[in-house]
Chains A and B, each alone.
Chain A
């Protein structure tokens, strides 16, 4: 029999702060956390406001022996995972480590300009031109081998596994928000089908480094009001039965989910609203919730005109205008945290459910860059 999955722990780090309670307060108050990056002074992006993480990360991350292997996105995701586990009150040893699943969403490889500079510096010839021969002779040898670990896309997942002793079914999906939402769905399905007792799901991403911004710019993605950001977010999912047995605090039940492919999106945004409709519709059907019973919406709006319009038109058609007006837009406050966005939005929605007394059914959408659209229905337990 299919089992219901509930959220028993939330961890997040973004420009709004660390610890979900603080992030929620900042979000609810309409705090604008966008800042200029001191690291981008004297670059073409000096005047670009970003969603920067400025608070210290979780001590489990700051003090970890693994930190030297961590890229920025690994740090963010590791920190969020540590906070989620702490928040859940779960002694992870109560579960068989091979029955704990780990499903992570991660972004593009996150190199920093400082990683490349030594290679370049040692590969420039007397005429100030790049030389392939020098690259082989000296440039490559200037790479710190540890650097190589940092650019491996599966490291966020592997480092969490090593750091917290998680050994079960696993998957890391890349490179955009939609794929991070798919990772959450994999965790939900694993619980539903009794493949795991507990699933840690989430994602981390950073698009505030010089190289990331050059990429976004070249790909035509730095358009509209989208504010690139960074963040990590994690959820502890357990079967409702197991969570109740250990008397865990339950934030919300994830009752339904849906996902659809937008084959017009490519690397960019899409005006196509059909896949957004499909994913919401699937989630609604699965949760047996009708639009009129939906009490809130957490959108995937990020300030890009085309993407936001597509989602807006679906929400407007499916739900009442009043619901559209009251929809919440986490990325407009925290900046676009890309692969961290779905778990962050679900975390915020779950926290709001827990905070209120009245029964809630909240729709959370993951839209944005790339070809995957996803939706989740959360409800009060």
Chain B
């Protein structure tokens, strides 16, 4: 069977706009959550989020001349991560043109700026405003905007996939790309995720769903996975991109190898639109399938990067799924939640958390779960509170469980 490895990595996150910063800050338990500055939140219930602080628009403009027309913030974040990942991979232009691409992307939100242009609330007025507004208003940016910019810049001819599977989107993208290469349907993929819901309709919409904490006063301490006082997640934004390829190809070009992608599992809860299945049945099977896919046994997993949203239901469900699968061993496996530091990056979360899962394999440190002051009695695993911990072992598991019941789990192996 073909072995698949990660040879390029790019990250844009609230705790670092490149992989070096992200690795350091994630290991040190730095929070990227704070007061939102991207729009005026004074009248909004939610006023905090995980913003990306360093978006290098000048560099992006040099790489993508047409980017001035792109108003979709997540596309900008994604492209910055793409540039870092491709640069990091050492691929030459000829090889990049053969890349396949799979992106997990966040929702197309209607641009709030377009609402602002409306001079009335009659349908005819709205239509006229938007139809007469020249090219500046598109109402929504199609999901393939980012992919199209990449294939234009690099003249890519490989397969292009785009999925919008909520919180599981980028894990699905990476897992699917891994399978494509392993089965021989592709040789080289750029896979990852990008999202920013930090806009009025995104923050407002998630707030209306009751998914977000309203404890704005907690600021950097607001996202509290597995803590007894958790009452909702915090939205963040970001992107992470991976160049993944077959081991032989990576070796022949003497590429730097971050880790081996060993297994992938994908299931559906088939339960409710809004809630995870309470016993974690779908999550259990996704983890189990990933372990089977990797050809290992549960006792070989040495660290779990949890989905860990900080919502009351998710953290209990995930804990139950882990305990059911790993039995007594579950209490010995370090589990941590990257969202405690960056917030919930929705479609980008799986990719950014997979990047965090590489940290133990490359640096020997397990990133902590911050803001975990008192564990929920129903969340009784070892969540690596506050400070990083030394990592021993070869296999890590990254969990992503999406709104609507899509589950995707990826296993990474130390490359020796």
Across the interface, which residues of B come within 8 angstroms of A102, CB to CB? Answer: 268
B270–A166 touching, CB < 8 Å: yes
Q: A149 contacts the other chain (Cβ, under 8 Å)?
A: yes
Q: Are A128 and B119 in contact (CB under 8 A)?
A: yes
A248 contacts chain B at the CB level, 8 A cutoff? no
Choose, from B26-34, B39-47, B212-220, the stretch at the interface.
Answer: B39-47
Alpha-carbon distance between A108 and B108 when the two chains are bound, in angstroms: 8
A361 to B16, CA, bound (A): 55
A22 CB to closest chain B CB (Å) equals: 30
The answer to whether A263 touches B266, judged by C-beta atoms less than 8 angstroms apart, is: no
Contacts of B123 in A (CB 8 A): 42-43, 113, 117, 210
Please report the total number of B residues contacting A with Cβ < 8 Å: 83
User: Which segment of B75-83, B200-208, B328-336 sits at the interface?
Assistant: B200-208
Instruction: Specify which chain A residues have a CB less than 8 angstroms from the CB of B128 in the assembled complex.
Output: 44
Q: Smallest CB–CB gap between B277 and chain A, Å?
A: 10
Q: B43, A137: Cβ atoms under 8 Å?
A: yes
Contact A152 B159 (CB under 8 A): no
- Please name all residues of chain A whose beta carbon is closer than 8 Å to the beta carbon of B126 when the two chains form the complex: 113, 116, 120
Q: Which residues in A have their C-beta under 8 angstroms from that of B112?
A: 132, 135
A215 touches B139 (CB 8 A): yes
Are A149 and B43 neighbours in the complex by a CB distance under 8 Å?
Answer: no
Q: Which parts of A129-158 form the interface with B (CB within 8 Å)? A: 129-130, 132-137, 139-141, 143, 145, 148-149, 151-155, 157-158
Partner of B155, one of A43, A129, A215, A263: A263
Mark each residue of chain B from 276 to 296: 1 if its CB lies under 8 Å from any CB of chain A, else 0.
000000100100010000000
Contact mask for chain B residues 7-47; partner A; CB cutoff 8 A; 1 contact, 0 none: 00000000000000000000000000000000111111100
Pick from B108, B115, B163, B208: contact of A148, CB below 8 A.
B208
Chain B residues contacting A120 (CB-CB under 8 Å) are 115, 118, 121, 126
**Chain A residue nearest in CB terms to B200:** A135
In the complex, what residues of A have CB within 8 A of residue B375's CB? Answer: none
Q: Does A285 contact B (CB under 8 A)?
A: no
**B152 CB-CB contact with A under 8 Å:** yes
With A161-B269, A166-B268 in contact, do A214 and B163 touch (Cβ < 8 Å)? no
CB of B142 within 8 A of CB of A108, answer yes
Q: Which residues of B contact A121 (CB under 8 A)?
A: 121
- Is B63's beta carbon under 8 Å from chain A? no
Q: Which residues of A line the B interface, CB within 8 A?
A: 42-44, 66, 69, 97-98, 102, 106, 108-109, 111, 113, 116-117, 119-121, 123-124, 128-130, 132-137, 139-141, 143, 145, 148-149, 151-155, 157-159, 161-162, 164-176, 179, 182, 186, 189, 193, 210-211, 214-215, 217-219, 259-261, 263, 266-267, 370-372
Closest 7 CB pairs of A and B: A158-B404, A136-B43, A140-B204, A153-B164, A136-B44, A161-B268, A137-B43
Query: 12 A-B contacts, Cβ less than 8 Å apart?
Result: A106-B164, A117-B121, A128-B120, A129-B119, A140-B207, A141-B208, A169-B267, A174-B163, A175-B143, A179-B162, A218-B131, A267-B145
Question: B interface vs A, CB < 8 Å?
Answer: 39-45, 105, 107-110, 112, 115-121, 123-124, 126-128, 130-131, 135, 137-140, 142-145, 147-148, 151-152, 155-166, 169, 172, 176, 183, 185, 200-201, 204-210, 266-274, 282, 285, 289, 402-406
